[in-house]
Structure 1
Amino acid sequence: MEQLRTIGRELAMGSQGGWGQSKEFLDLVKSIGEARSKAEEDRIISRELDHLKRRLADPDVPRRKMKELLLRLVYAEMLGHDASFGHIHAVKMTHDESLPLKRTGYLAVALFIDERHDLVILVVNTIQKDLRSDNYLVVCAALTAASRLIGEEAIPAVLPQVVDLLAHPKEAVRKKAVMALHRFYQRSPSSVSHLVSNFRKRLCDNDPGVMGATLCPLYDLILEDPNAYKDLVVSFVNILKQVAERRLPTSYDYHQMPAPFIQIKLLKILAVLGSGDKSASGHMYTVLGDIFRKGDTASNIGNAILYECICCVSCIFPNSKMLDAAAETTSKFLKSDSHNLKYMGIDALGRLIKINPDIAEQHQLAVIDCLETLMTL
């Protein structure tokens, strides 16, 4: 609930930056934040929805004011109330020529309805038109909506345009096109099975964001058939090495860690490709060792990378040096004062002892300590 209130405050503050009159929205957010019970909150939202019904029915509402009314509808639905009477207004706003209003319309539609909703058919034609726009921001908004709203039956209607956008000069468009194709694959694998080579090509994209987005559909494809992607092991290892060596722009850093989410996805992929494959695993040992040596245990994201590295080592063809490094990192987790890290340590230890049961012996006391801690909670 607190997260919803925070988002509401951010929307309200955003409306001060040129979204028109917003005092009513600010008052709404304030009153909800001060509500002393769920019943009181429900009464506030019910009054707000009655007010919005009257305002939306007024044909003379200024377009910019309509934008704020839609955002207030979004906020009401976020709090669990039915604002279906306003859904058609969100659909209408996706047709607007004004970029801020169109993007607001797409945002609201994507939150209000799904692929099974009766209003989707009214949005598909708009998405098709906007995918051909010269304004890349309009194209991005349409791709985002397509990922949410285009169901299996409508995929063929937009698929050719989305594929063409993989070669768009703007990296933001290419990234969202990859994400849209991934979503189509999740909904109907047969619809995009002939486009697998496009994901391989985007792995070599000059923009790290596009490359990182491509890892998600490739991971799903690799889970289905690892043998079809064994030839990419060296490429994945080289990418992971470049990321770990901080060759990516610092804009991809998170808490001083270089592109950690890309690292984690790559480690997941390598774990699948290296499973039971000595040759493929042999390409991975060096970069995995580097990650263990440079690992940062001072931050949550650093520990997340190290944990995923342990998971990878426990899945690929066993190597004594890698197992030793993984066991050492696991020991640090188990000795931590953080219950979360202790849990990670227990989980990591469970993975490692399946490969080498002797690893458990040196951590017996730590495991007992964790059990005693659990008993006191």
Structure 2
Amino acid sequence: MALSGMRGLSVFISDIRNCHNKEQERLRVDKELGNIRTRFKNEKGLSHYEKKKYVWKMLYIHMLGYDVDFGHMETVSLISAPKYPEKQVGYIVTSCLLNENNDFLRMVINTVRNDIIGRNETYQCLALTMVGNIGGKEFSESLAPDVQKLLISSSCRPVVRKKAALCLLRLYRKNPDVVNIDGWSDRMAQLLDERDLGVLTSVMSLFVSLVSNNAEAYWNCLPKCVRILERMARNQDIPQEYTYYGIPSPWLQVKAMRALQYFPTIEDPSARRALFEVHLLLLLYST
């Protein structure tokens, strides 16, 4: 939580830390909530900076375990702010204080979409992260096509694409109709050829959800899962940051094997042999 230039926020946090008991803390929190409520009633005189300061305080109070049942409109409105510091606060605090059923979220669907389809990667990441956490059915109907485009785009950086994959997973869980099975089988097969392990791990989370509902539609992806496991087993092109206690990307291995369990028994002898060899290598590697 960036406190530079926010003396009021720093003082409030210090006051809370200096409280000797829970009762003192509660009284200080109630006083601050009353002050914030009063300032929000005169919202026309508040700058984006002042809103940001009070919204940060609301988040801190929420983190302390107190209910914050007001100020949601002011929080959401920061998402539409033109400057990054205010927009960032709007996205972060909205994700923490609101849920998918909050009516105020409808106010910013267009703004969120503009951030997703815009060219500012930072704004794209903020929007995708929020939707991936609290996006509901309305968001899925409005944003799923744009999120899919980011995921399959060759011009997007990995940081955006992996957030797009997890965002699409959330939208798919809320409304499975947003992913067209006929068109996505081949796309998913291409996505599973991804070399960046961050993107691939996120894509695999989406793939597990897809095959759990309809494995037959993604039969063409099964060899890709085997190749991914083979890559892990042979430690081929695995960056050090994805190696955990000497094991290449164990989380991706688990996701790939979880996806395989949804497919029918493999009848092709060569495919079965390849899968057996991969599992044997993984077992030997982990011992």
Shorter-chain-normalised TM-score: which range? 0.7 to 0.9
Q: What are structure 2's unaligned runs of at least 5 residues?
A: none
Counterparts of 2:40 and 2:6 in 1: how far apart (Å)? 16
Are the equivalent residues in 1 in contact too, given 2:140–2:172 (CA < 8 A)? no
Equivalences for 1:210-359 in 2 at 5 Å? Answer: 210-246=199-235, 247-273=237-263, 276-277=265-266, 279=268, 280-295=271-286
Are the equivalent residues in 2 in contact too, given 1:178–1:199 (CA < 8 A)? no
- Name the counterpart of 1:20: 6
Residues 189 and 69 (structure 1), Cα distance of their counterparts in 2 relative to 1, 3 Å cut: same
Counterparts of 2:89 and 2:267 in 1: how far apart (Å)? 52
| RMSD (Å), alpha carbons | 2.6
Q: Secondary structure at the match of 2:53?
A: helix
Q: Which has the larger radius of gyration?
A: 1
Residues 29 and 42 (structure 1), Cα distance of their counterparts in 2 relative to 1, 3 Å cut: closer
Counterparts of 1:25 and 1:255 in 2: how far apart (Å)? 42
Counterparts of 1:181 and 1:49 in 2: how far apart (Å)? 36
Q: Which moved more, 1:96-105 or 1:162-171?
A: 162-171
Q: Which moved more, 1:108-117 or 1:192-201?
A: 192-201
What TM-score, normalized by structure 1, do the two folds share?
Answer: 0.66
Are the equivalent residues in 1 in contact too, given 2:16–2:25 (CA < 8 A)? no
Residues 19 and 122 (structure 1), Cα distance of their counterparts in 2 relative to 1, 3 Å cut: farther
- Name the counterpart of 1:156: 141
**Of 201, 204, 221, the match for 2:193:** 204
Shift of 1:254: 3.4
Residues 271 and 111 (structure 1), Cα distance of their counterparts in 2 relative to 1, 3 Å cut: same
Counterparts of 1:52 and 1:233 in 2: how far apart (Å)? 55
**Deviation string, structure 1 residues 174-215 (Cα, Å, up to 9, x no partner):** 112222221111011122234523333322234221111111
Residues 35 and 229 (structure 1), Cα distance of their counterparts in 2 relative to 1, 3 Å cut: farther
Q: Is structure 2 residue 129 aligned with structure 1 residue 141? A: no
What TM-score, normalized by structure 2, do the two folds share?
Answer: 0.84
Counterparts of 2:226 and 2:73 in 1: how far apart (Å)? 49
Q: Secondary structure at the match of 1:80?
A: coil
Counterparts of 1:257 and 1:63 in 2: how far apart (Å)? 47
Are the equivalent residues in 2 in contact too, given 1:241–1:287 (CA < 8 A)? yes
- Name the counterpart of 2:17: 30
Shift of 1:218: 1.1
Q: Is structure 2 residue 29 aligned with structure 1 residue 49? A: no
Shift of 1:162: 1.7
Aligned residues: 278
Are the equivalent residues in 2 in contact too, given 1:19–1:67 (CA < 8 A)? no
Residues 163 and 63 (structure 1), Cα distance of their counterparts in 2 relative to 1, 3 Å cut: same
Residues 282 and 225 (structure 1), Cα distance of their counterparts in 2 relative to 1, 3 Å cut: farther
**Deviation string, structure 1 residues 73-122 (Cα, Å, up to 9, x no partner):** 11222333232322111111111111122111011112222222111111
